Amino acid sequence: MSTSESADTTNPTDTKPSTRANTALSTSIPGLPALDLSPTLNSQKEQLEIYRHLLETLAQSEQESALIFPTLSKSLTTHTATLVKLKDDLHNVFMRIRALKTRFQSEYPDAFDYVQSLHVKELEDE
């Protein structure tokens, strides 16, 4: 039995037309030696199984993400609102500090200049 005859035999219970077509293609080219496509077909089947498993994993991950997303979205909204409130509070605090500094500078200019000079000296020492 030659390789072309062995490649031509197919399993009658195999209902996959693409496998039969590929096998028939491998032996129907006149003038060329018959090619054994079974390693290629097996490799493609293995890759298909890998991709199916990957697709199942990705689908499961998507489902889990869809379940977690509303909770995380609400948490993000809450944290963002908290940060905005903190920013506003800090802005208010620094505005009040500037107002106090301006008031002290106008009421006690000599003392304010003296304290400022001490502060500048401390910064230069560091």
Per residue in 46-104, pLDDT tens?
Answer: 999 999 999 999 999 999 999 999 999 999 999 999 999 999 999 999 999 999 999 99
- How far is it, in rounded angstroms, from Cα 108 to Cα 95? 20
SS3 40: helix
pLDDT at res. 11: 47
| pTM (global) more than 0.85 | no
26 pLDDT tier (thresholds 50, 70, 90): low
119 pLDDT above the threshold of 70: yes
pLDDT at res. 27: 53
SS3 37: coil
- How far is it, in rounded angstroms, from Cα 103 to Cα 114? 15
Torsion of CA 22, 23, 25, 26, to 10 degrees: 120
12 pLDDT above the threshold of 50: no
Per the prediction, the chain carries an average pLDDT of 82
Residue 57, H or E segment: helix 38-107
Arithmetic mean of pLDDT, 110-119: 88
Q: Is 31 left (phi over 0), alpha (psi -120 to 50) or beta?
A: left
